[in-house]
Amino acid sequence: MNQQFEQFAARTAPAIFVVLWSTGFVATKYVLNSAEPLTYLSIRMACVVGLMAIIAAIARPKWPDRAGIGHSIVAGLLVHGFYLGGTAVAISHSIPAGLSALIPGLQPILTSTLANRWLGERVTPLQWTGLLLGLAGVVLILHNRPMSGEAGWGWFASGVSLVSITLGTLYQRRYCNAIDWRAGNLVQYIAVTIFFGLGAWLFENNEVHWTAEFVLALSWLAVVLSIGSIGLLYWLIRRSAATSVASLFYLVPAVTSLMAYVLFGEKLDAVAITGMTACAAAVFLVNRRSA
């Protein structure tokens, strides 16, 4: 029974992860109507720390040693700090929710290049074909998009997100795999709460409009995203090669764009849909086992 459940979980987890991760871009658009990006992230992470502290108090996990705490802090700043900060800043600079997922969608290309060097994972020719196909798909989705002015700063912030989530995924796999996820995540979230709090204090007005929309979106981001999807991501990292996990991010722009079309009326043209199809094909090739 347990083996059947594990097999079912292994088959469904990637799809669940993609859907949950995609909702993060949509929910971020909602919360930014009521608060500045770093201010909102400070509140979100403070809520997550409280939830994780309760989980850790009940479960009483084994705590990492001093080196493990240091590695958890670094991983947290990369996976949560610069990635979430870059995404929120991008959306606040008028990058539509559907497009804010595009630059981080290049993660599989960067991950495969680094994993090949850093983790010793062999990337097969078929996987390289899939990675390049996915890159072409993202380029198609980006066609004719403005890249200067306020939008330029938004795309730069998305670039920061790309680098940080890539390095964070690899760092988590190399240095934090043996750390209990409950203790490790609590350390990570404490670190990023301080990080965002300092940023909000230095650069923002810290004004928040506590509307029902803000509270609901914030609750979703804190519970479902920061605990649910991040826990699922780390579970996938422990079970799979970094390249295969990273390839899932190719699907996020397509799923996010579909959600943004339904919720915000962000339209998709034929070229963008072609690009998303290429991204889906890329995920299949990257995840396909070599003979």
Q: Pick the more confident residue, 143 or 178.
A: 178
Q: Pick the more confident residue, 269 or 79.
A: 79
Structure tokens at 236: 């996938």
Q: pLDDT tier at 27 (50, 70, 90 boundaries)? A: very high
Q: Average pLDDT over the chain, rounded to whole?
A: 83
| Per-domain residue ranges of the chain | 2-287
Q: What is the mean pLDDT of residues 92-105?
A: 75
pLDDT at 65: 93
Q: Is the pLDDT of residue 94 over 70?
A: yes
Place of tokens 């559907």: 98
Q: pLDDT tier at 191 (50, 70, 90 boundaries)? A: very high
DSSP 8-state secondary structure symbol assigned to residue 192: H
Helix (H) or strand (E) holding 7: helix 2-31
pLDDT at 290: 42
Taking Cα atoms as reference points, which of 42, 78, 26 lies closest to residue 257? 26
* Inter-residue contact 151 to 271 (CB < 8 Å): no
Handedness of CA 189, 115, 138, 229 (dihedral sign): negative
In this prediction the pTM is 0.81
* Inter-residue contact 131 to 283 (CB < 8 Å): no
Q: pLDDT tier at 246 (50, 70, 90 boundaries)? A: low
Among 135-149, 154-168, 204-218, 246-260, the minimum mean pLDDT is found in: 135-149
Q: Pick the more confident residue, 215 or 115.
A: 215
Three-state secondary-structure class, residue 63:
coil
pLDDT at 279: 75
35 DSSP β-pair partners: 208
Contacts of 4 (CB under 8 A, 6+ apart): none
Three-state secondary-structure class, residue 208:
strand
Q: At what angle do helices 83-92 and 181-203 cross, to 10 degrees?
A: 40
Q: Pick the more confident residue, 57 or 274.
A: 57
C-alpha span between 209 and 174 (Å, rounded)? 41
Q: Is the pLDDT of residue 53 over 80?
A: yes
pLDDT at 31: 95
Q: Pick the more confident residue, 110 or 262.
A: 262
In this structure, what are the phi and psi dihedrals at residue 208, rounded to the nearest 5 degrees? Answer: -130, 135
Handedness of CA 198, 204, 210, 212 (dihedral sign): negative
Q: Is the pLDDT of residue 139 over 70?
A: yes
Q: Is the pLDDT of residue 25 over 80?
A: yes
Q: Pick the more confident residue, 88 or 5.
A: 88
The phi-psi region of residue 174 (left if phi > 0; otherwise alpha if psi is between -120 and 50; otherwise beta) is alpha
Q: What is the mean pLDDT of residues 219-232?
A: 89
Nearest-Å Rg of the Cα atoms of the chain is 18
Place of tokens 């699907």: 251
Q: What is the mean pLDDT of residues 211-220?
A: 96
Q: Is the pLDDT of residue 269 over 70?
A: yes
Q: Pick the more confident residue, 114 or 92.
A: 92
pLDDT at 78: 94
Nearest 5 degrees, angle CA 205-CA 47-CA 69? 105
16 Cα distance to chain centroid: 13
